[in-house]
Amino acid sequence: MNTELWLGLATGVIFGALLQQGRVARFEKQVGAMLLKDMTIFKFMLSAIIVGMIGINLLAALDMIPYSVKPTILGANLIGGLLFGAGWAVMGYCPGTSFAAFAEGRWHAIWSILGMLVGAAIYAEAEPTMRETVMTWGNYGKITLPQILGVSVWLVIPVLVIAFIGLFLLFEKKGV
Amino acid sequence: MKGEVMNNKVSWRPYIAGALLGVLAVLSVYISTNELGKPKFLGASTTFVRAAGMVEKTVAPEHVANNRYMQKEKVKVDWQFMLMVGVLIGSFGAAVLTGSFKKESVPPIWKEKFGSSIGVRAIGAFVGGVVAMFGARLAGGCPSGHGLSGLMQLSVSGFIAMAGFFGAGMIIALLVYGRKEG
């Protein structure tokens, strides 16, 4: 195995351990968030995003790393996003947590994994049609929030951090 | 249960695990940029395309070779593929070491609504999986790629995709499982 594969494996082992220890790889936590009954996955994700967005943008500002922004295509992001959300609710797992759930004993996650493999194969067949239709609806390229707002990254980040912490306080107050 | 919220006591577990994941994401991008010459952001759903391609290749190799999307995403074991293998190992290891490994054949919320049949759960989860992965590939990512990596970079696509994920998730979850009392 080369360096790339070893790095992926090492990163994945920690990623998996954190998903398991954060208790987010569980059907009841995923569906609990959608029912606004248990916001564990939001506490986990938003905490990661707070640390990550400060770190990534700091390193990028120092020219130590490049960004890798996914293109904004309104039709694809939104329609794809809604389809994903619908399937996610029934499965109770997202692609990353399905693996972590399977490995911590929730072996029924295998049905979700098999379904997702078939979904990926079907998408590969449908991709030429998608490319000519949905993928052309509202293509704005690789844009970021500070770019479209015309403000500094360091104005957007504090606003988001305060908003996320506000959500945490709300979750804890409501006991969800 | 250990580590769960007890009425008015705050559980720091998801915040700490999440913050550590943020550190891991930043370190991963930094190390991969230096060691591999390209940044590796966390993601999961592209691996399903590659794995599906590998399975298809065993029965119809020429079909996979002629599929533009499979060729674009490359049917091979790469960084993210190994990341997902690592997730299996890390989650299993952490569960065993902390005594939280728990065999479960049907999730409790599902059981309450649809009974304890493994077949019914299998069909529901499979169909959900098909729809979700089609959506993730169309959207260009899942809650890891769009949610974590996208929002960390303040990408507009990440915010739109996450709104779609959660918006539809809430509506369908309400329809499928209903609101619980309390």
Per residue in A78-129, pLDDT (tens digit) is: 999 999 999 999 999 999 999 999 999 999 999 999 999 999 999 999 999 9
pLDDT category at B29 given cuts 50, 70, 90 is very high
Q: Does A161 lie at the interface with B, CB-CB under 8 angstroms? A: no
Alpha helices in chain B (DSSP H): 13-36, 45-59, 61-65, 68-73, 79-97, 108-114, 118-139, 151-152, 156-177
How far away is chain A from the Cα of B60, in angstroms, using its nearest Cα? 12
Contact (CB<8Å) A59/B95: no
What lies within 8 Å, CB to CB, of B88 at 6+ separation is A12, A16, A99, A100, A102, A103
Task: Please list, in sequence order, all residues whose beta carbon lies within 8 angstroms of the beta carbon of residue A168, skipping any fewer than 6 positions away.
Answer: A43, A46, B15
The 10 Å CB-count burial string (b at 16+, else e) for A134-143 is bbeeeeeeee
Substitution target from A3, A46, A59, A104 for chain B, most B beta carbons within 10 A: A104
Q: Decide if A53 touches B, using CB distance below 8 A.
A: yes
Model confidence at B2, pLDDT cuts 50, 70, 90, reads very low
Q: Is A82 on the interface with B (CB under 8 A)?
A: yes
pTM score:
0.94
The structure tokens listed for A117 are 């493999």
**Cα three-residue angle A26-A29-A30, rounded to 5 degrees:** 85
Q: How far is A26 from chain B (nearest CA, A)?
A: 9
- For chain A (176 residues), the mean pLDDT of every run of 10, in chain order, is 96 98 97 97 98 98 97 97 98 97 98 98 96 95 97 98 98 96
